[in-house]
Amino acid sequence: MAVDSIRKRTSFAPQKKIEWRDHQGEGIQNWIHRTEKVEEKWIEETTETIGTWRDISRSVYLRWAITINAMHVSAKHYTSLPEDRRLKTETIRSLGGNAVKVPLAIWAGAEASERYVESQELIAAYGFADMYGVIEDLVFDAHEIFRRHHPGDLITGSEFRDLRRIYANRHENSAAWMSAWSKRFEDWRRKKLYDGLPRVALSYWTGCGLKEPSTYKHTKVPDWMDTIKMFSILRNHITHSAPTVTQELEDCCKIKGNMGFNFSAGAELKVELFHLMAIECFIDQYLTALNMSLLELVYGEGHWAKLAKKFDQSPG
């Protein structure tokens, strides 16, 4: 039985999903395209999954946000305690050949409060890196859906002769095909990571024949890829413990879709809750744009423009 990753195990924000024809303007963002056409089944599956991706994104963000909030609460709590009330933090040490818990730090109220405040930046930084992982997951999950329905490029070549045979017999033995496909896609994903996530995301949009929704006037698909690149550079700063902002990150903040990021080269790198909010907002907007674009791929630009106007969908 498949087991979800740590990132996907908790759902704090279950999403409503609705077939787009049933939409009555309730503000639902996850519109599903139901179809009997084989060539559109990948669109149906993708639109069915958008709500799940949105739930994952919001749930991951909420887990980090409430952790930061808890640290704020704890900082206030310990500030109000008398000095004889202390925060004891334990770890494990080997004593006499046995692993035992021992105190690592014992702080009085005021000092404990300061430690909680000082720890919040680390939580925000690693929360941001985790949210970037959400983008990575949804980009590759979308790729997997499309390519599973259109596996041609991934099973071409003499080394994939057996895989093509399994694919040809998939209706007789679907389990064998799914097992073989999963291994092939994971190998492809591992190699594609070296291309960088912005290029992988762009290849999805171009490969599927998707473009920004017709109602969007301010940003286009390449602008979104620039934003993902900016996120990736900040994530790399965090991962490699960069003490200061590089010129590369400052330059990335000059893009159209900078989400309010204004890092300056040479300045101390500081990641805050705002950056977590911004990347969550981007993912939410990205999923809505993907949803709208998929529907326009089926029904045409004019059709979606009318639906968007009817239910007051703001242009991007």
pLDDT band at 108 (very low <50, low <70, confident <90, very high): confident
- Average pLDDT, stretch 99-106? 92
C-alpha to C-alpha distance for 69 and 116, rounded to whole angstroms: 11
Q: Who wins on pLDDT, 304 or 280? A: 280
Which residues make beta-bridge pairs with 30? Answer: 17
- Average pLDDT, stretch 129-144? 97
With contact defined as beta carbons under 8 Å apart, do 136 and 197 qualify?
A: yes
Which of 213, 316, 204 minimizes the C-alpha distance to 259?
316
C-alpha to C-alpha distance for 243 and 307, rounded to whole angstroms: 48
* Axis crossing angle, helix 221-239 with helix 273-299, rounded to the nearest 10: 150
With contact defined as beta carbons under 8 Å apart, do 15 and 51 qualify?
A: yes
What is the per-residue pLDDT for 26?
Answer: 55
Q: What angle do CA 56, 37, 21 make, to 5 degrees?
A: 60
What is the per-residue pLDDT for 282?
Answer: 97
Q: What is the mean pLDDT of the chain?
A: 89
What backbone torsions phi and psi does residue 105 show, to the nearest 5 degrees?
-150, 140
What is the per-residue pLDDT for 30?
Answer: 83
Could you report the per-residue pLDDT of 216-263, keeping only the tens digit for each?
889 999 999 999 999 999 999 999 999 999 999 999 999 999 999 999
Q: Which of 7-11, 98-102, 215-219, 276-280 has the lowest mean pLDDT?
A: 7-11
Q: Who wins on pLDDT, 262 or 21? A: 262
- Average pLDDT, stretch 117-145? 96
What is the per-residue pLDDT for 314?
Answer: 46
Could you report the per-residue pLDDT of 49-102, keeping only the tens digit for each?
999 999 999 999 999 999 999 999 998 888 887 777 788 899 999 999 999 999
- pLDDT exceeds cutoff 50 at 315: no
pLDDT band at 306 (very low <50, low <70, confident <90, very high): low
**Burial (CB count within 10 angstroms: exposed 0-12, middle 13-18, buried 19+), residue 107:** middle
Q: Which of 104-118, 126-140, 193-207 has the lowest mean pLDDT?
A: 104-118
What is the per-residue pLDDT for 316?
Answer: 47
Torsion of Cα atoms, 299 then 304 then 305 then 308, to 10°: 170
Length of the chain: 316
- pLDDT exceeds cutoff 70 at 27: no
